[in-house]
Amino acid sequence: MPPPYGATEPASACTVTEAPEVPTAVVTQRDFPMYEMSTLMDGTFSHLVSALEEAGIHPIGPAFALHHRAPVSTADVEVGFPVDAPLREPITLPSGYEVTASVLPGGRVGWVSHIGGYGGLAESWGAFTEDVGESEEQMTYPFWEFYVTPPSPDVNPASLRTDLFSLLEPRSD
């Protein structure tokens, strides 16, 4: 994965950098109920790698969720993987979700790592948003999470790493 997505070490403080556009294969949902998010992720991530491999496409990084607006009771979200080549035609997963081609946007991004269980993500997003504001940057949409440590029953939740990213407004200077 190109930097900053392939960072081997977590970012303990907000880092601003240039990120390349990266092709993705995603399930896109509009107005998706937040309380069903685990169903969406399980129904996507449990089948997507093998479905992509059958299409001759390979994930090149961890699973992610990209949000087009702030989720409240519902979300406009893409869940999937960065891939080595653009998806040429839609794939229907056994869960019934349709996978299509998309991209992680290129440009200036702010990012930081969250270490710990998913229950602490909201607090980390709040701190990250505050840090970005204090650095006189302006967040814009979309924003996304990379699930660097794949969840599994054997993983200690305290050791999970999730990298938080937000596109930033272009600089005028």
Q: What is the pLDDT of residues 56-102, one digit of tens each?
A: 999 999 999 999 999 989 999 999 999 999 999 999 999 999 999 99
DSSP summary character for residue 12: S
CB 10 within 8 A of CB 80: no
Which regions of the chain does DSSP assign to beta strands (E)? 15-19, 22-33, 64-67, 74-82, 91-92, 98-104, 107-115, 139-147, 161-168
- Sign of the dihedral through C-alpha 155, 156, 157, 162: negative
Q: Please indicate, yes or no, whether residues 39 and 78 belong to a single structural domain of this protein.
A: yes
Q: Please indicate, yes or no, whether residues 6 and 59 belong to a single structural domain of this protein.
A: no
Token pair for 95: 């869960």
Tally the domains of the chain. Answer: 2
From 85, 104, 123, the end of a domain falls on 104
Q: Please indicate, yes or no, whether residues 139 and 89 belong to a single structural domain of this protein.
A: no
Q: Which of 86, 80, 85, 45 is nearest to 66 (CA)?
A: 80
- Please state the pTM of the whole predicted model: 0.93
Q: What is the pLDDT, as a whole number, of residue 166?
A: 96
Q: What is the pLDDT, as a whole number, of residue 161?
A: 95
Q: Please indicate, yes or no, whether residues 71 and 122 belong to a single structural domain of this protein.
A: no
Q: Please indicate, yes or no, whether residues 112 and 161 belong to a single structural domain of this protein.
A: yes
Which CATH number goes with the domain that contains 113? Answer: 3.20.80.10
Distance CA 73, CA 148 (A): 26
Identify the domain containing residue 88 by its residue range. Answer: 22-104
pLDDT at 155 over 90: no
Q: What is the pLDDT, as a whole number, of residue 83?
A: 97
From 76, 104, 132, the end of a domain falls on 104
Q: Please indicate, yes or no, whether residues 93 and 26 belong to a single structural domain of this protein.
A: yes
DSSP 3-state of 42: helix
pLDDT confidence bin for 32, thresholds 50/70/90: very high
pLDDT at 171 over 80: no
Q: Please indicate, yes or no, whether residues 51 and 91 belong to a single structural domain of this protein.
A: yes
From 78, 104, 130, the end of a domain falls on 104
Q: Please indicate, yes or no, whether residues 98 and 129 belong to a single structural domain of this protein.
A: no
Distance CA 93, CA 46 (A): 9
Q: How high is the mean pLDDT of the chain?
A: 92
Q: Please indicate, yes or no, whether residues 16 and 31 belong to a single structural domain of this protein.
A: no
In this structure, the strands spanning 64-67 and 22-33 are unpaired
Q: Please indicate, yes or no, whether residues 8 and 69 belong to a single structural domain of this protein.
A: no
Q: What is the pLDDT, as a whole number, of residue 173?
A: 60
Distance CA 53, CA 50 (A): 5
Q: What is the pLDDT, as a whole number, of residue 2?
A: 73
Q: Please indicate, yes or no, whether residues 83 and 113 belong to a single structural domain of this protein.
A: no
pLDDT at 46 over 80: yes
pLDDT at 136 over 70: yes
Distance CA 168, CA 16 (A): 9
pLDDT at 151 over 80: no
Q: Please indicate, yes or no, whether residues 75 and 121 belong to a single structural domain of this protein.
A: no
